[in-house]
Amino acid sequence: MTASGTAGLDHLALFYRGNQEYLAGVGGYILEGLASGEPVAVAVPGPRLELLRSGLPAEAVQQVAWTNMAVAGRNPGRIIHRVLLAAVKRQPSRRTYVVGEPIWPGRSDLEYPACAAHEALINDALADHYCRILCPYDAIGLSATVIADAEQTHPVLVDNGVTWQSPEYDPAAVEHFNRPLPEPPPEAVTMSFSRIAELAPLRTFVGRRAAAAGLPLKNVHELVVAVNELATNTLEHTGDGGSVAMWTESGMLVVQVHDTGHITDRLAGRTLPVRLDERGRGLFLVNMVCDLVRLHTAPTGTTLRLHLAL
Amino acid sequence: MHPSTATQLRPGDHVCWVFDNDNGCLDDIARLVRSGIEAHHRILCLTQAVMPVAVAAALESVDVATGPALDRGQLRITTAAETYLRHGAFDPGTALAAWREGIEQAHREGYRGLLVIADMMWAARPIFGPDRLARYEAQLSRLCADGYATAVCLYDRRVFTGSELHETSKAHLATVPPGGHATFTVRLRIVRTTDPVGIRLTGEADLATRLAVRAVLDGALEDLPFGEPVTVDLTELRFADGATATALARLAQALPAGSRLVGASASLTSLLRLVCDGMVPGLDLDGPVLEGAA
């Protein structure tokens, strides 16, 4: 079915209960795409990937591009670029069928708001692309709140073979997940900055603390680049300085950058500008190298919290 | 001035030198001029707030033998009115042409370098504007990248606003804040090379030098011999931010066949791939390649 006309994006949430419904709903969608001769890309967590591969005919399995969402989409902030746009751009003139499952019962409370914000942003990020994106939701394993959120972030819902327009759909739903973050713990180390000349000492500070926390060297370099991008944005766009706080929490290194700016383009960092000019890449780079990025932005200030697994 | 600033400067450097005290500024100039005379550089002092005779007197007072240097033409002290503003309003194109001419002349006369110390007071006129000033300064970085001229631009903090200084400092390769000479280090050098034909970056490239780096990299194809393969040497580039990596990728995209980016660290290689999404044809990263990079 086409929910929004003959071109553009269809973004559907599919609610399933158990493997049978998963195979019937998601498997059926995949077969429908293949039968129409369209490209099909499936990005779901590992166990779901196995379920589909073993449940579908071998020749169908061969024609699908498979991605483990638990790896590629570990940071939900990079799914739009790495998974969805990558799939759609492979054959831009075709109507790509995508399955994207960014939310599953193993997602932590820390991750969830970023995942839900990602779902909301798909509607804008892919509005001009000719594709269908089906997002399976485990109606048994996920909470009622998560299911209710899915009804707000998806214009179209599918359950047990029935498809309907979501009465709860809210094009501005991303704001619901723009929530204040808890204060950093008292043991956090901090450094503030207000001048360009302080970028270099800030990089040294972040690099040393990250290495001391046990972050692998490759990730230390990436984190230093990421924090430098955020601090650069602060100096370029706010006219004020900012502050960086670092601590470890549940096996992760956390780096928070706070400033007085307000990010009004909610798609910032989700896609890569086509032209090779310098602007608009900072948040994108941050998303590419972090395992999770939490954001709270308001006219009074912006807090970005970067998480990297130790 | 702490001696470290004067001793650290090399041909190719382009420094944004911020001061807030007239006496200190004269002292700074004197030390710099003395080291320039000793290094057999042509030295050009462009003054605005202070008369040329006062500059010469100040130099004498700290034991710089200006007389002989002035007599043999090694040292010239003049005003913005006679140089930048000779034709009335400032025109960046005319000024940059005068720079090129000055470099060629110093070359011809056998000097080992050209040191220009310029009081930028004239640029504080509101008619000029911070963006235009920064564009001019960035083009000056591009001229200095031949590794012959050293440009020291003196900015009076009592005259320029914070945002003007913020903008223009990014068009230089180093910035010395008032009283910052003791801790001054040149963080980035970017020079064009002849053997091999190319560009070499040394140090750390971040927001502090963004406009300068962009001007040199974007101008590289025009400034290097036409059609020859280019070697971009990144061996000594210890840090590059996303904007620098993007400018490098943009250059790589436009380089002639056979050109190479060499010596990029694993983290820079990975950053280059990220910023261009692996889409830049001809980006031959001849360096250690990061395992698992996208």
Chain A CB within 8 Å of residue B293 CB: no
CATH code at A189-309: 3.30.565.10
Q: Distance (Å, rounded) from C-alpha B82 to C-alpha B20?
A: 25
What residues form DSSP beta bridges with A42? A66, A99
> CB A225 to CB B242 under 8 A?
yes
> CB B241 to CB A272 under 8 A?
no
A69 pLDDT above the threshold of 80: yes
B282 pLDDT above the threshold of 60: no
A279 neighbourhood in chain B, CB within 8 Å: 243
Q: Looking at CA atoms only, how far is residue A261 from chain B in angstroms?
A: 17
Q: What is the mean pLDDT of chain A?
A: 94
Tell me the CATH architecture of domain A9-177. Answer: 3-Layer(aba) Sandwich (3.40)
| SS3 call for A246 | strand
A282 neighbourhood in chain B, CB within 8 Å: 242
* Structural tokens at position B280: 């830049």
The arrangement of strands across the sheet holding A252-259 comes to A189-193, A242-249, A252-259, A301-309, A292-298
Domains of chain B: 3-183 (3.40.50.300), 188-286 (3.30.750.24)
The amino acid at residue A59 is: E
Q: How confident is the model at residue B292 (pLDDT cuts 50, 70, 90)?
A: very low
Q: CA separation (Å) from B228 to A82, B49, B196, B220?
A: 36, 46, 10, 12
pLDDT in tens, A96-109: 999 999 999 999 99
B245 pLDDT above the threshold of 50: yes
B182 neighbourhood in chain A, CB within 8 Å: none
| Helices B266-276, A282-289: inter-axial angle, 10-degree rounding | 120
Scan for tokens 């003049």, then name that residue: B78
> CB B166 to CB A288 under 8 A?
no
Chain A CB within 8 Å of residue B204 CB: yes
ipTM (interface predicted TM): 0.90
Phi, then psi, of B290 in degrees rounded to 5: -70, 130
Closest-approach residue (CA) in chain A for B218 = A277
A221 neighbourhood in chain B, CB within 8 Å: 265-267
What per-residue confidence (pLDDT) applies to A5?
A: 42
Which among B274, B276, B289, B291 is the top mutation candidate for probing chain A, defined by the most A β-carbons within 10 Å of its own β-carbon?
B274
Nearest partner of B287 among B249, B241, B234, judged by Cα: B234
Q: Looking at CA atoms only, how far is residue A287 from chain B in angstroms?
A: 11
Prediction pTM value: 0.92
B85 pLDDT above the threshold of 80: no
What per-residue confidence (pLDDT) applies to B1?
A: 45
Q: Looking at CA atoms only, how far is residue A229 from chain B in angstroms?
A: 7
Q: How confident is the model at residue A2 (pLDDT cuts 50, 70, 90)?
A: very low
What per-residue confidence (pLDDT) applies to B24?
A: 63
Domain ranges of chain A: 9-177, 189-309
pLDDT in tens, B209-224: 999 999 999 999 999 9
